[in-house]
Amino acid sequence: MKSILGLIAALCLLTACGTSARIDKSWRDPEVSVDVSKLNKVLVVALLNSEANRRTTEDKLVAMLGNKAVPSYNILTKDVTKEDEATIREKIKNDGFDGIVIMRLADVEKDREYVRDGAYPYPFYYRRFWGYYWNAWNAYYNPGYYRTTKTYTVETNVYSLIRDKLIWSSTTKSVDPSNLDKLMDASAKVVFDEMKKQGFITGV
């Protein structure tokens, strides 16, 4: 927990421009506030469809934080089944983890918008009757174009291993991020800001 929160703070410096994100929804356990100065170790999980992207994302987080963070692909491998849960839970507990932070790309929505050519919502000849009349007769038409945007939703969950339950959940949205790394970085920054704003984390 301490490690991932430190990571998110560092990411604030990396996302001053370019890809941005906004909080869509958030929830916190009202009985829990986390003093990050008292935490020990965190398991970092990036749930991405591509194993290569997953490893790259988790390695990036760990590289920035050193031995305080551990990538999940060392523990939660693809061949893990539900029958292995008890063994994995015991390993995580014995290794001294305080919590788990999971970030995943939850959804991608496409929106097709019609954009008219020029600064006005209609072609220039619409402004006067005669302009419209003569151009309509002459079948003159200045079409616009369609623009497709993609809105990415990233979900972040924080689990307390001491309490064995979810203590934070949020979704962020980002429009047309330049790449996956910048998407995850921007999402982490805005989540960190929201955690501080709500008083969910202290000691930072």
Q: What is the CATH number of the domain that holds 8?
A: 3.40.50
Q: What token pair was written down for 106?
A: 């939850």
- What pTM was computed for the model? 0.73
27 domain-assigned: yes
Would residue 122 count as lying in a domain? no
Owning domain of residue 98:
2-106+150-202
More confident residue, 130 or 184: 184
Residue, of 134 and 100, whose pLDDT is higher: 100
Q: Is 117 inside a domain boundary?
A: no
Q: What percentage of residues in the chain have a pLDDT greater than 70?
A: 74
Q: Check residue 157 and give its pLDDT.
A: 93
Of 186 and 135, the structure prediction assigns the larger pLDDT to: 186
Whether 32 maps to a domain, the answer reads yes
- Per-residue CA distances from 122 to 143, 179, 203 (Å): 9, 34, 55
pLDDT in tens, 26-49: 999 999 998 877 888 889 898 888
- pLDDT tens, 127-169? 677 666 766 666 555 566 778 899 999 999 999 998 999 999 9
Residue 168 lies in a domain: yes
User: Which range, of 6-15, 115-124, 125-134, 149-158, averages the lowest pLDDT?
Assistant: 6-15
> Nearest 5°: CA angle at 81, between 80 and 86?
95
Instruction: Confirm whether 132 is domain-assigned.
Output: no
What's the structural domain count of the chain?
1
Distance CA 182, CA 169 (A): 21
Let me know if residue 128 belongs to a domain: no
φ, ψ of residue 29 to 5 degrees: the values are: -70, 115
